[in-house]
């Protein structure tokens, strides 16, 4: 049983508490990803650029008009973050400022007013503190946080909304993939593309995910966990996976696709690059052809492939299919570079490894 810890956070927003917590109904030994939600949520509204008073309320249905922009034109964006339990009971919210920075860029691309850093940070800190008993006590589990903003104006013309709502919901999670930390299998889908330069591929916009559902379902029907997206122009260069950035260990160097506007600038990707450079590894952010990888896998120069993401953490990839050919790696276990990153990042999450550079907000 978790003990209720006394709050260390100054309340900024008024709270309408749940009458009865649902916490005790949840089996923490069977956590999956994204199907359980904690007691409370945060809401703040914006009208003509002015943010009103935010509030915390019981998690539940939200009302809006059927003509709301988000329901038709998808003007909205979101973030994915996590809070982790330290051994001493403290709770760590990981890289809040980085997530706010990316969220702001997503908002700007979607023509949505930026949610001020103080609102974003204070709302998340107060909400996590209020629902801190929902943060799993066990290592590798977390309270997933989903901040999101939606356009709510009642108007069917295609134009930016004059009203918005920003919410934060949360829920306890285990592994993102059913494989756990066993290597997953990917396939390219050269008939489909995820994003083009100048589009919204580098924003966390709902449409990116909606457009990925059909190709992902086709990949799953063929026995793969996810699609490995290739660039939209030549359909040769590796971009990313539905919920993670990709890394390859080639000739001992760590290689990842550059941020050229078509992939999400992952916070875990940034953390991986920062750690690997600190360890003295050569890190290259450069276009990577799928054919270069197939060749390197056949000649033994490609030793590891893994994805990085908030939900996925570090997920090894054991097999990548492309047009009848394949990249084959260890299909049973994580390679040494992925393992070291996984241990270090999860160590930082849970306070077992020192916070390298103010990545942790401990409450």
Binding mask 318-357 for ligand PLP (x = CB under 6 A): ----------------------------------------
Between CA 238 and CA 242, with CA 240 as vertex, the angle to 5 degrees is 140
Secondary structure (3-state) at 72 = helix
State which residue, 188 or 268, has the beta carbon closest to ligand PLP.
268
With binding defined as CB under 6 A, does residue 308 bind ligand PLP? yes
Between CA 92 and CA 142 the distance in angstroms is 10
37-54 exposure pattern, b = at least 16 Cβ within 10 A, e = fewer? bbbbbbbbebeeeeeeeb
With binding defined as CB under 6 A, does residue 76 bind ligand COI? no
Between CA 330 and CA 274 the distance in angstroms is 25
State which residue, 173 or 250, has the beta carbon closest to ligand COI.
173
Between CA 241 and CA 24 the distance in angstroms is 35
Binding mask 234-263 for ligand PLP (x = CB under 6 A): ------x-xxxx------------------
Structure token digits, residue 31: 């956590």
Binding mask 261-300 for ligand PLP (x = CB under 6 A): ---x-xxxx-------------------------------
Q: Which does 269 bind (CB under 5 to 8 A by kind): ligand COI, ligand PLP, none?
A: ligand PLP
Q: What are the two backbone dihedrals, phi and then psi, of residue 229, each rounded to the nearest 5 degrees?
A: -75, 140
With binding defined as CB under 6 A, does residue 80 bind ligand COI? yes
Q: Measured from the CB of residue 312, what is the shortest distance to ligand PLP in angstroms? A: 7
Q: Which does 149 bind (CB under 5 to 8 A by kind): ligand PLP, ligand COI, none?
A: none
Question: Is 45:164 a contact under the CB 8 Å cutoff?
Answer: yes
With binding defined as CB under 6 A, does residue 257 bind ligand COI? no
Between CA 246 and CA 111 the distance in angstroms is 29
State which residue, 269 or 321, has the beta carbon closest to ligand PLP.
269
Using CB under 6 A as the criterion, which residues of the chain lie in contact with ligand COI when the complex forms? 80, 243, 309-311
């Amino acid at each position: 049983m978790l003990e209720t810890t006394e709050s260390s956070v100054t309340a900024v927003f008024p709270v309408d508490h749940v009458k009865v917590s649902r916490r005790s109904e949840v089996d923490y030994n069977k956590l999956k990803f994204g199907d359980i939600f904690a007691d409370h949520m945060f809401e703040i509204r914006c009208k003509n650029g002015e943010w009103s008073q935010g509030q915390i309320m019981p998690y539940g249905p939200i009302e809006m008009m059927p003509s709301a922009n988000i329901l038709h034109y998808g003007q909205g964006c979101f973030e994915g973050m996590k809070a982790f339990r330290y051994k001493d009971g403290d709770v760590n919210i990981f890289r809040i400022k980085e997530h706010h920075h990316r969220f702001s860029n997503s908002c700007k691309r979607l023509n949505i007013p930026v949610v001020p850093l103080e609102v974003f940070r204070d709302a998340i800190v107060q909400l996590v503190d209020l629902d801190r008993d929902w943060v799993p006590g066990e290592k590798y589990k977390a309270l997933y946080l989903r901040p999101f903003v939606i356009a709510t104006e009642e108007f069917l013309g295609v134009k930016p909304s004059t009203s918005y709502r920003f919410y934060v919901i949360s829920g306890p999670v285990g592994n993102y993939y059913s494989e756990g930390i066993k290597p997953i299998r990917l396939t390219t889908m050269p008939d489909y593309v995820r994003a083009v330069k100048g589009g919204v591929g580098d924003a966390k916009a709902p449409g990116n995910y909606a457009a990925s559902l059909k190709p992902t379902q086709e990949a799953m029907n063929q026995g793969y966990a996810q699609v490995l997206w290739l660039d939209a122009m030549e359909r040769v260069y590796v971009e990313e996976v539905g919920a993670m950035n990709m890394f390859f260990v080639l000739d001992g160097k760590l290689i990842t696709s550059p941020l050229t506007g078509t992939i999400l600038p992952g916070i875990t990707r940034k953390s991986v690059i920062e750690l690997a450079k600190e360890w003295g590894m050569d890190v290259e952010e450069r276009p990577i052809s799928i054919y270069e990888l197939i060749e390197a896998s056949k000649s033994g120069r490609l030793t590891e492939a893994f994805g990085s993401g908030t939900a996925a953490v570090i997920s090894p990839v054991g097999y990548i299919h492309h047009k009848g050919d394949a990249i084959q790696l260890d299909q049973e276990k994580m390679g040494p570079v992925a393992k070291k990153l996984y241990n270090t990042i999860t160590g930082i999450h849970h306070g077992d490894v020192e916070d390298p550079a103010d990545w942790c907000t401990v409450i």
